[in-house]
Amino acid sequence: MYRSETKTALNKNILYFIRWTAISIVMGTVCGLIGTAFGYGVIYAQRLFKTHSFMLYLMPVAGVLIVLLHQMFHELGNRGTNLILESISSDERIPMATLPCIFISTILSQAVGASAGKEGAALQIGGCIGNYFGDVFHMDERDKKVMIMSGMSGCFGAIFGTPLAAAMFGIEVISIGVAYYAALVPCVFASFIGAQISGALGLHGESFLILHIPEFSLVPALYTVGLGLTCALLSVCFCILLHETQHLYKNKIGNVYVRILVAAGLSIALALIFGRDYCGAGFNLVEKAVDGESAYLGFLLKMIFTTVALSGGFKGGEIVPTLAVGSSFGCTFGLLTGFEPSLCAAAGMLATFVGVTNCPIATMFLGFELFGFEAMPYFAVAVAISFTLSGYYGLYSGQKFTYSKTKAEFINRKAH
């Protein structure tokens, strides 16, 4: 009896592994190819903005084109990454039109210097691909949710070049406190295959060198605790600023064309006043911060640039701007306290990222893939503190907190 049950369970697990391995190869390959095309499109758009100063003044034109595109595909009411998350935690449907809309809109946004990222777009593109193949393979709703998660991981890994973080992010971001481990094999395989394909096609992820990492001891640990505390507060402020500005735009400016034109006008004015360093995704700011060269209020300016652009209707996502905000703040913290600005930039980046995404394991993996393992104690302390103290705020209102951050208690609530 026992042997029979064991054999049945083993056979079931083997069939599960074979089935999802085959599906993951397809998902990873498709996500890798589409993600690479998207990545190169973004790179070309960014180069266009850097080499042609007049592109900034075309932001209103790009804004109108983005709204027209969404109107043409009946996507004006699309909730972006929130729609992808809600499709997993509920029975929300993902229209395939989301893919071309976010693909083209993000490239247009980057071409004119809107302060927006690309990884949020990658999650949406991957979610659309996963949903499409779920329909193609006639999967039930539970398996389709796994497909969506693997698509998110596959595209994130292809575009960002961090397959470990991508795999865990797809599993972890949906429901805080409960990880969808049934999606572990599909997400890991899809993210690594996607990253390998994009790498083979010449699209490589970012990596940074921390200038100096002191031995972890009491005094450095106390500085890291302080950094984690302040990054938690920064994360909450950033989330509130994004959400409230979005509500302000919608309540005060009902016409979507006027709304994005106002965002374009404000973005141009900000760039003329404060310079173009704060335009675009923000990896230039991360590089400066890790080199210990951030402007003291650079993090605040990046928050404002990003809030104005994204809340007004430009597309791409908040992830890279968040990394820019966190690293700039961390560097400022290090400069003001006299404690290792380069290390503080790296730890601050991760602490801010976990504060707005609520994905501590994915954040740790992201730190290892971007900076290496040597600074692990600092990353762990900063990430743990910021995750705990940032409360139930988050970039994505579609994200669900299944369990409390501070008690072993079922709460089942949405993010602020």
Q: Is residue 119 part of a domain?
A: yes
pLDDT band per the 50, 70, 90 thresholds, residue 8: confident
Q: From the centroid of its chain, how far is CA 280?
A: 15
Model pLDDT, residue 317: 87
Model pLDDT, residue 2: 58
For residue 90, pLDDT over 80 is answered with no
The residue count for the chain: 416
Whether 227 and 103 map to the same domain: the answer is no
Model pLDDT, residue 175: 87
DSSP state of 412: E
Whether 278 and 238 map to the same domain: the answer is yes
Q: Is residue 56 part of a domain?
A: yes
The whole-number average pLDDT for the span 96-122 is 95
Q: Is residue 262 part of a domain?
A: yes
**What residues does 400 pair with on adjacent strands?**
175, 414
Model pLDDT, residue 354: 98
For residue 122, pLDDT over 80 is answered with yes
Whether 192 and 222 map to the same domain: the answer is no
DSSP state of 296: T
For residue 91, pLDDT over 80 is answered with no
pLDDT band per the 50, 70, 90 thresholds, residue 272: very high
Whether 236 and 372 map to the same domain: the answer is yes
Q: Is residue 299 part of a domain?
A: yes
Domain boundary, last residue among 167, 200, 233:
200
Phi-psi region of 412 (alpha: psi -120 to 50; beta: other; left: phi over 0): left
| Tens-place pLDDT, residues 296-306 | 999 999 999 99
Rounded to whole angstroms, the Cα distance separating 235 from 9 reads: 45
H or E segment to which residue 92 belongs: none
User: Are 157 and 118 contacting, i.e. CB atoms less than 8 angstroms apart?
Assistant: no
Full-model pTM = 0.96
Model pLDDT, residue 93: 82
Whether 134 and 246 map to the same domain: the answer is no
User: Are 346 and 184 contacting, i.e. CB atoms less than 8 angstroms apart?
Assistant: no
| Tens-place pLDDT, residues 353-394 | 999 999 999 999 999 999 999 999 999 999 999 999 999 999
The whole-number average pLDDT for the span 135-162 is 94
Model pLDDT, residue 57: 98
For residue 79, pLDDT over 90 is answered with no
Q: Which domain holds residue 389?
A: 218-414
The whole-number average pLDDT for the span 396-403 is 88
User: What's the chain's average pLDDT?
Assistant: 94
CA angle 210, 211, 215 (to 5 degrees): 85
Model pLDDT, residue 260: 98
Q: Is residue 115 part of a domain?
A: yes
| Tens-place pLDDT, residues 188-209 | 999 999 999 999 999 998 899 9
Q: What is the DSSP string of 230-241?
A: HHHHHHHHHHHH
Q: Which has the higher per-residue pLDDT, 149 or 120? A: 149
Supply the CATH number for residue 136's domain: 1.10.3080.10
For residue 1, pLDDT over 70 is answered with no
Model pLDDT, residue 344: 99
For residue 33, pLDDT over 60 is answered with yes
Q: Structural domain tally of the chain?
A: 2
Residues with Cβ within 8 Å of 249's Cβ and at least 6 positions away in sequence, in order, are 259, 262, 263, 311, 312, 313
| Tens-place pLDDT, residues 305-336 | 999 999 999 999 899 999 999 999 999 999 99
Percentage above 90 pLDDT, the chain: 81
Whether 91 and 117 map to the same domain: the answer is yes
Whether 263 and 164 map to the same domain: the answer is no
Q: Is residue 205 part of a domain?
A: no
For residue 76, pLDDT over 90 is answered with no
